[in-house]
């Protein structure tokens, strides 16, 4: 069958007027190049579920692809004898609500008990709901911090998985079930609309449980730090606001241009707090009101970014590692004070500083593969994080990164520090004095041709560097060749003389090769200088 005939068959089964028309225009124009780009395969369903640009065809996010995914997931639950119940959530991106309703109708039509969240809500609320409702699976329609035109489909499992995201081999089994559905026509799938729409008590239960993760604040509102908050056009604000209030904290000053959900993301080119410029409006608001903290959630509120005054009239954004150190130290000290044991965990590309914290407090420590699906599964977890702004501060409430509970923990820390006349900046200095001066940085190369990623990784394997940043490379670890405790993974790690390290891996969600640099030295300035020297040497190797 020609690509034009394939496109015509897709149009026949597509329930969406917009994507049908989009595809028909390509067919009428005879644009076989663009049609081939849409039909040269299908979106791969993996441990991150699905994520891609909105558009027509099997290599884009659309109602046909989502319907196939929903039916495949439902059949997987049935065929593997799992609990035939699912809860579905969605964020404020374009078509998230449509994709969620399609999923609810298809899964209900296949006999599952389906609960749909009542409105656009943060991803952590959905992750909470999987455990709170005791269902077999959860689906969150979100592209998190991806570009504005993207959307995605994230899957959680209940039961023994305890509400964590899926991991192999389950992702492959679900993918096979989706492929089997995709071999047919989505018009043949039975739909039903008698699913349950959750009431407000579900989100309220999340608010109550999250607020209880910090002690009740003892400072009056006028003695609390001034905080600026941005939802970055996402769905975090109303839930975060309720959590902060329930825990006794003063309401933050908001960034009005970014506080309501808006799938067009009109004030940011890339709605990721890590991206340059993404927090500019929030920082400007922080300067205007003399804030002590600027807090940002990403659009689905599972990530958190923090900025603090820089002493020169503006703010500096803390790295994910710096926030992870602070929250990890807080969690470890609280566990020790309460006589609890357990484990701290971080992804292998996150700073090694957390291991020192664990050692100091007599806790276990685990490195995991990148992705919170691995961090959340560490046994006896006390606290876990990944440098990409993801933090899990209370595994008993949510088994996933949660930007709202992390923000609450930071507020609690800031209030405690303020009571002693200290700031978050002071706490960072105290961390360096207590555990060592750590610093981290990243280098990323974006590619247009995905094969370029394989070429870069192959070159590094065939000719590994012997020195970086003036430091000798003492060991090279290739995780693809097998490392105890890890499945084979496309990751290279270089450990250098003096304790620095460099890790290289392809991004799991973007067409990039990413390099993670971590150093430790006698002073923060020395550690940062070494990061820059290593970055200068690494860039040519991955460009």
Taking domain 38-198, whether its CATH number is 3.40.50.880 is answered by no
Q: pLDDT at position 221, please?
A: 65
Q: Rounded to 5, what percent of the chain is helix, strand, coil?
A: 40, 20, 35
**Span 381-405, pLDDT tens digits:** 999 999 999 999 999 999 999 999 9
At residue 452's C-alpha, the angle toward residues 536 and 468, to 5°, is 25
Q: Domain residues of the chain, as ranges?
A: 38-198, 205-308, 320-435, 437-542
CA-CA-CA-CA torsion sign (419, 422, 428, 431) = negative
CB burial of residue 507 (10 Å; 0-12, 13-18, 19+):
middle
Report the pLDDT value the prediction gives residue 219, as an integer from 0 to 100. Answer: 60
pLDDT at 218 (0 to 100): 60
Pick the CATH number of 205-308 from 3.40.50.10470, 3.30.565.10, 3.40.120.10, 1.25.60.10: 3.40.120.10
Task: State pLDDT tens for residues 362-374.
Answer: 999 999 998 899 9
Give yes or no: 144 in active site: yes
- The H-or-E segment that residue 238 falls in is helix 237-246
pLDDT at 47: 79
The per-residue pLDDT for 286 is: 98
Which tokens go with 294?
Answer: 């600027």
The CA-CA-CA angle for residues 419, 423, 427, to 5°, reads 110
Do residues 295 and 269 lie in contact, with contact meaning Cβ atoms separated by under 8 Å?
Answer: no
In this prediction, residue 485 carries a pLDDT of 83
CATH of 320-435, one of 1.10.540.10, 1.10.10.10, 3.40.120.10, 3.30.420.40: 3.40.120.10
Q: Which residues of 377-413 are buried (b: 16+ CB within 10 A; e: fewer)?
A: bbeebbbbbbbbbbbbbbbebbbbbbbbbbbbbbbbb
Of the residues 103, 144, 164, 347, which is catalytic? 144
Cα four-point dihedral sign 138, 139, 143, 148:
negative
Query: CB-based contacts of 141: which residues, under 8 Å, 6+ apart?
Result: 66, 88, 89, 90, 91, 93, 96, 97, 99, 100, 103, 151, 152, 153, 154
pTM over 0.85: yes
The reply to whether 38-198 and 320-435 are identical in fold is yes
The superfamily (CATH) of domain 437-542 is Alpha-D-phosphohexomutase, C-terminal domain (3.30.310.50)
Is the CB of residue 410 less than 8 Å from the CB of residue 295?
A: yes
> Which residue stretches of the chain have pLDDT < 70?
217-222, 509
């Amino acid at each position: 069958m020609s690509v034009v005939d394939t496109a015509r068959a897709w149009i026949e089964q597509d329930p969406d007027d917009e994507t049908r028309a989009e595809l028909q225009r390509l067919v009428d124009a005879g644009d076989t190049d663009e049609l081939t780009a849409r039909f040269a395969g299908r979106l791969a369903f993996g441990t991150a579920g699905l994520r891609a640009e909105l558009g027509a065809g099997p290599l884009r996010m659309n109602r046909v692809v989502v319907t196939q995914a929903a039916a495949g997931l439902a059949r997987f639950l049935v065929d593997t004898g799992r609990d035939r119940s699912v809860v579905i959530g969605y964020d404020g991106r374009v078509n998230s609500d449509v994709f969620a309703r399609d999923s609810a109708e298809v899964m209900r039509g296949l006999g599952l008990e389906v609960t749909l969240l009542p409105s656009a809500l943060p991803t952590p609320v959905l992750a909470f709901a999987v455990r709170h409702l005791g269902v077999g699976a959860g689906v969150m329609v979100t592209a998190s911090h991806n570009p504005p035109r993207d959307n995605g489909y994230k899957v959680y499992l209940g039961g023994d998985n305890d509400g964590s995201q899926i991991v192999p081999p389950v992702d492959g089994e679900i993918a096979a079930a989706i492929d089997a559905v995709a071999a047919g026509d989505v018009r043949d799938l039975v739909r039903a609309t008698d699913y349950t729409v959750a009431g407000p008590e579900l989100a309220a239960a999340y608010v109550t449980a999250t607020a209880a993760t910090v002690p009740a604040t003892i400072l009056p509102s006028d003695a609390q730090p001034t905080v600026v908050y941005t939802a970055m056009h996402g769905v975090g604000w109303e839930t975060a606001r309720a959590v902060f209030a329930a825990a006794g904290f003063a309401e933050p000053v908001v960034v009005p241009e970014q506080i309501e959900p808006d799938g067009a993301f009109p004030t940011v080119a890339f709605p990721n707090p890590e991206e340059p410029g993404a927090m500019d409006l929030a920082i400007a608001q922080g300067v205007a009101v003399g804030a002590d903290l600027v807090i940002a959630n990403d659009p689905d509120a599972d990530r958190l970014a923090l900025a603090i005054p820089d002493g020169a009239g503006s703010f500096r954004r803390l790295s994910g590692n710096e926030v992870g150190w602070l929250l990890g130290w807080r969690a470890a000290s609280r566990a020790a004070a309460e006589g609890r044991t357990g484990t701290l965990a971080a992804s292998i590309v996150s700073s090694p500083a957390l291991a020192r914290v664990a050692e100091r407090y007599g806790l276990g420590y685990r490195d995991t593969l990148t992705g919170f699906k691995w961090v959340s599964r560490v046994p006896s977890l006390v606290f876990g994080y990944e440098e990409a702004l993801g933090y899990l501060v209370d595994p008993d409430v949510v088994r996933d990164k949660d930007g709202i509970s992390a923000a609450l923990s930071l507020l609690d820390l800031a209030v405690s520090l303020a009571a002693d006349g200290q700031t978050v900046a002071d706490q960072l200095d105290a961390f360096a004095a207590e555990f060592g001066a750590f610093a981290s940085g990243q280098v990323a190369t974006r590619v247009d041709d995905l094969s370029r990623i394989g070429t870069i990784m192959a070159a590094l394997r065939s000719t590994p560097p012997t020195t970086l940043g003036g430091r000798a490379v003492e060991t090279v670890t290739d995780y693809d060749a097998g490392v105890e405790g890890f499945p084979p993974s496309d990751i290279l790690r270089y450990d250098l003389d003096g304790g620095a390290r460099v890790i290289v891996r392809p991004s799991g969600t973007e067409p990039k090769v990413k390099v993670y640099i971590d150093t430790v030295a006698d002073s923060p300035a020395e550690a940062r200088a070494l990061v820059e020297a290593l970055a200068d040497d690494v860039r040519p190797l991955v460009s």
